[in-house]
Structure 1
Amino acid sequence: MSPNTRTLLLQLSLFVLTLITTTLAGAEWMFGNSFVLVEKALGWDEFWQGLHFSIPFLFILTVHEFGHYFTAKAHQVEVTLPYYIPLWFGISQSIGTMGAFIRIKSLVRSRLKFFDIGIAGPLAGFVAALGVLWYGFTHLPPPEYIFSIHPEYQQYGLNYPEFVYQNQEGALILGDSLLFYWFKMYVADPALLPHANEIIHYPYILAGYIALFFTSLNLIPIGQLDGGHILYGLIGKKKFDIAAPALFILFAFYSGLGLFRAEEFAIPDESEFYSLLGYLAFYIYFLYVCLRKISDNPRNAWIIALSIVVLQFGVSYIYPTWEGYPGFLPFIFLLGRFLGVYHPETIENEPLSKGRILLGWLAVLVFILCFSPKPFIIIV
């Protein structure tokens, strides 16, 4: 068997596994249950229903990856077919995958090629996500559909939200982006639109929402994310090396805003005070690790980390209701520690055409429309 055949079989196997794991995950979201470790585990009937999530979600993901693939081929850049990454926890809910990627096997020397390859994926995936969301919001089932998922609600009739949400802790709500809000307000039939606590059980809407979420993360103009390729193409390396770390620092500042507040340290319990102080020290070190590669001098990373924390304390004191989204912190760690904040320099730095510049700013608009400041909200 040739190496190319083995690679193709691996890619195909990963796709099939990812189809299975996303179907499992989709069924778990739809029915609010699990296939394992519960008294009434989901079965084959529910598994097949999970295809209503996995097929549209993998469709969007595949369109995104092949947007990169075909553009790279058009530029005669050697790339692989997509590698899908299956991931299913079984004991807790997931989306069944960590995404997919293509490997660029040849050196990209051109700023223009980086731009084209970078922008093709998210724009193609965005169009596919729009189609899935449009279908999901225009084909909502009757309100009674929720009783097939929560039969215990049926005793209250369609007025169930007045009774079941009073003490419902742990419920997951999808935070609005501008585009998702527009779909809910102007596309969906208000009589059929599910309650915010239940929208996760609607597979096409969930698939489209998660696609928008990952599109927005991908379009953050930092490092070698697609957004980084786009911004690098638009403004060049000199300006990018100023903008990218500034945006990364701002992202880190927002994510941890409100995580610690000055009044929390005004507690009489000495052990609790030192425990909180330990958490704060760990948070500062975490920021240092994330920021370490911004500068060759480690001292600068410490200064920036401490400055972020001081500013977060100050803003939280003046505006106590302002809060960031700590859920972004793992992504900040991934960016700062592994993916990198800066973009590799290109040898060929030809200017972009007016059409490409327009597409670049269109991608910025797509990022603004897709980005949710608090994408996943857990009721506590």
Structure 2
Amino acid sequence: MTREDQKSPPFFKKVRIHVLLFIATFLTTYYVNGIWYSLAIMSILLSHELGHFFMCRKYHVDATLPYFLPLPLPPFGTFGAVIKMKGHIPHKRALFDIGAAGPLMGLVFAIPAIVVGLILSDVRPVPADSSNYLGLGEPVLFSFIAKLLFGTLPEGMDIYLHPLAFAGWAGLFVTALNLLPIGQLDGGHIMYALLGKKSDIVYRIGIFIFCVITVFFYKGWILFAILLLIFGFRHPSPADEYTPLDPRRKMLGIALFIIFLLSFTPVPLKF
């Protein structure tokens, strides 16, 4: 092997796919819901993934830059974004911090998007023929913010969301999915850091409940439920399996589980 072969590829080659996917996702989100939605949802997704990325850097865990997943179809215009961790996680504290950083950073952008977007939204009568409208399930947190801003709406009235508010709603949707206490989702990382190998019981209960919701309440979850059945039962162990979390992280873990309950809605879309 020559010395030239040992050199790392130029920086622009290493980041090219990430930049192209970012641009493509910006264009698909803009195509689906306009500039305000696109800017907001891209900010939420980027902050979420960079939260993971920089925490991986802190603990010397090898991780890729975010891969954005474009989808030129409504209602979201994207499948979200992911990073790939390629290194071993040293201990439970690192596992917890990496898992928690993404949802927390995403909420920093999602909640202001909801507040400002709702202020820009309209309250209108529900039309007699509403077959062409997309109804959204309302997480408790979203409903609470809407009630603070609008109070109790009169009968026959509804909020027609500004694209910025819809991006905030989508941000809560993404946060809730990632905080499911299952497998290698963010919530699964947090649960494993809290409970260790006992988290396997929580994963199984969580997958069972999610499948019940899929079968009896919302068939739209079917693909995600299949992925959870395939990948959701196991979690790789950190190198240090025994050092417990400190009380501050344990309290934050409980708070994140509460955030999950406040952000999740069993039936997110009503066509």
Global fold match (TM > 0.5):
yes
* Shift in CA distance, 135/246, structure 1 to aligned 2, threshold 3 Å: same
How many residues were matched structurally?
A: 262
1:8 to 15, 18, 22: 15
Alignment of 1:224-239 (within 5 A): 224-237=184-197, 239=198
* Shift in CA distance, 135/3, structure 1 to aligned 2, threshold 3 Å: same
In the alignment, which residue of structure 2 is the partner of 1:347?
A: 239
* Shift in CA distance, 83/327, structure 1 to aligned 2, threshold 3 Å: same
Per-residue CA deviation, residues 94-151 of structure 1 (Å, 9 max, x unaligned), is 411111111212122422211110110001111211111111122336x6xxxxxxxx
- Residue 121 of structure 1 pairs with residue 81 of structure 2: no
Per-residue CA deviation, residues 260-300 of structure 1 (Å, 9 max, x unaligned), is xxxxxxxxxxxxxxxxxxxxxxxxxxxxxxxxxxxxxxxxx
Q: Any gaps of 5 or more consecutive residues in structure 2? A: 1-7
Contact 2:213 2:266 in 1 (8 A): no
Per-residue CA deviation, residues 160-216 of structure 1 (Å, 9 max, x unaligned), is 53xx32x4325321111101111221124778xx954x635x201110111101110
Structure 1 residue 365: Cα displacement: 1.0
Of all paired residues, the percent bearing the same amino acid is 34
2:68 to 80, 84, 104: 84
| SS of the residue 1:98 aligns to | strand
In the alignment, which residue of structure 1 is the partner of 2:92?
A: 111
Matched letter for residue 195 of structure 2: I
Structure 1 residue 240: Cα displacement: 0.8
Q: Any gaps of 5 or more consecutive residues in structure 1? A: 27-49, 144-157, 258-323
Moved over 6 A (4+): none
Greater mean alpha carbon deviation, residues 216-225 or residues 170-179: 170-179
Per-residue CA deviation, residues 73-93 of structure 1 (Å, 9 max, x unaligned), is 11111222111111114xxx2
* Shift in CA distance, 347/254, structure 1 to aligned 2, threshold 3 Å: same
Matched letter for residue 7 of structure 1: K
Contact 2:119 2:149 in 1 (8 A): yes
Query: Which structure has the larger Rg?
Result: 1
* Shift in CA distance, 63/195, structure 1 to aligned 2, threshold 3 Å: farther
Per-residue CA deviation, residues 358-378 of structure 1 (Å, 9 max, x unaligned), is 111111011011011211112
- Residue 208 of structure 1 pairs with residue 189 of structure 2: no
Structure 1 residue 235: Cα displacement: 1.0
- Residue 333 of structure 1 pairs with residue 258 of structure 2: no
CA distance in 1, matches of 2:193, 2:148: 35
Alignment of 1:307-326 (within 5 A): 324-326=217-219
Aligned-pair Cα RMSD in Å: 2.2
- Residue 95 of structure 1 pairs with residue 95 of structure 2: no
| SS of the residue 1:84 aligns to | strand
Contact 1:88 1:94 in 2 (8 A): no
Alignment of 1:217-296 (within 5 A): 217-237=177-197, 239-257=198-216
* TM-score, normalising length: structure 1: 0.65
2:112 to 121, 131, 148: 131
| SS of the residue 1:77 aligns to | coil
Structure 1 residue 255: Cα displacement: 2.1
2:130 to 154, 158, 168: 168
1:199 to 152, 160, 163: 160
Per-residue CA deviation, residues 285-331 of structure 1 (Å, 9 max, x unaligned), is xxxxxxxxxxxxxxxxxxxxxxxxxxxxxxxxxxxxxxx22222221
CA distance in 2, matches of 1:136, 1:4: 38
Greater mean alpha carbon deviation, residues 181-190 or residues 356-365: 181-190
